[in-house]
Amino acid sequence: MNLFTPIQLGDYTLRNRIVMAPMTRSRADSQGVTSSLTAEYYGQRADAGLIISEGTAPSAMGLGYARTPGIYNEAQIASWKPVTEAVHARGGRIFLQVMHVGRISHSANRTIPDAPVAPSGIPAAGMMWTDSLGMQPNDTPRALELDEIPSVTAEYASATRNALAAGFDGVELHAASGYLPNQFLSPDANQRTDSYGGSIENRIRFVVETLEAMIAAAGSPGKVGIKVSPGMKFNDINDADPIPTYVALARAISRLQPAYLHVMRAGIGAETSLREAFGGTFLVGGGFRKEEAEATLAAGGADGIVFGSSYIANPDLVRRLETGAPLNQPSPATFYTPGPVGYTDYPFLA
């Protein structure tokens, strides 16, 4: 078994085990609508076994970064259709990553005046880019009321229906990187004293219920995956002891039988215990190159390998991995800038 061995992932047979990581590229407009450039970008990368899209907001409340897309209105849904068509035209598969930023947000990037929401009213340390004001500190969020939480979960369900209507093969719940679900999981960002805070069982509740709602909306667990990043401190997450929480989460979601569990490595060695606790299709990413990817698959450490920045720079990454051709180097200066430069213009092998 190697990177080029087909794999059953949920409802789909993927032609290889190379997965394109979800990556925010900030090429949408200020209303979260994508353009034909985005269809070209994903279409170029369609020979991945699976593409996971950039983080996409399930509601105006969940959108916090400049020029990031949404999946909550007709214009946004329509703008994604050429993207899924471009990927399917080349025989590829694409899941939409549903990303609610929670407290990682600034008013200058938002389409509504409301303050962002989070498990608790605690701002995240850190700055984010805004097109009108440059770098700004994250806004202070408002704590969600207990009786509001089902409506947030319902936004994820509605985003799931909209994604399938736009032609996506499935959806990924973004529970990593310090965004809303990760804020619920983490005892520093989540200081609630109700049934969504405190104990491990309470802190994982939001994520489990949201995944359940997405599966119900999709009509099949095989169309829904989830990403986590235990131990990652990005976006002011400071969880002193993450592994027990994530093992409990992996056990709780295993009974829902989602398409996969996707773990972004953060150097704390959580992967083995999570793979064991989950028991289903397991994807891992974070700094992989070909040799380590092949070794991880061969050792049974994962079922598929997720490639991030190397997929930005190499539209034909599958062919390069197959042939051992050298990789283009990504240019971080154009990760989040509008337009084709550093987006659709990385060279293919001759």
Catalytic one among 42, 179, 311, 346?
179
Strand partners, 118: 143
CB count within 10 Å of CB 279 equals 13
Is the CB of 21 or the CB of 48 nearer to ligand FMN? 21
Token look-up 């080029």 returns: 4
Does residue 88 contact residue 57 with C-beta atoms inside 8 Å? no
State how far the Cα of 2 lies from the Cα of 338, in Å rounded to an integer.
36
Is the CB of 252 or the CB of 305 nearer to ligand FMN? 305
Is the CB of 99 or the CB of 217 nearer to ligand FMN? 99
CA angle (172, 330, 225) in 5-degree steps = 10
CB of 146 to ligand FMN, least distance (A): 28
For residue 343, indicate whether it is catalytic.
no
Token look-up 């061995």 returns: 5
Residue number with the smallest Cβ distance to ligand FMN? 308
Q: How far is CA 140 from CA 73, 126, 134, 270, in A?
A: 26, 11, 18, 31
CB of 188 to ligand FMN, least distance (A): 20
State the maximum Cα–Cα separation within the chain, in Å, rounded to a whole number: 59
> In the complex, which residues of this chain contact ligand FMN (CB under 6 A)?
21-24, 54-55, 97, 99, 174, 176-177, 227, 264, 285-288, 307-310, 335
Give the pairing of strands 170-174 and 127-130. Answer: unpaired
CB of 229 to ligand FMN, least distance (A): 7
CB of 176 to ligand FMN, least distance (A): 5
User: Which residues are identified as catalytic?
Assistant: 179
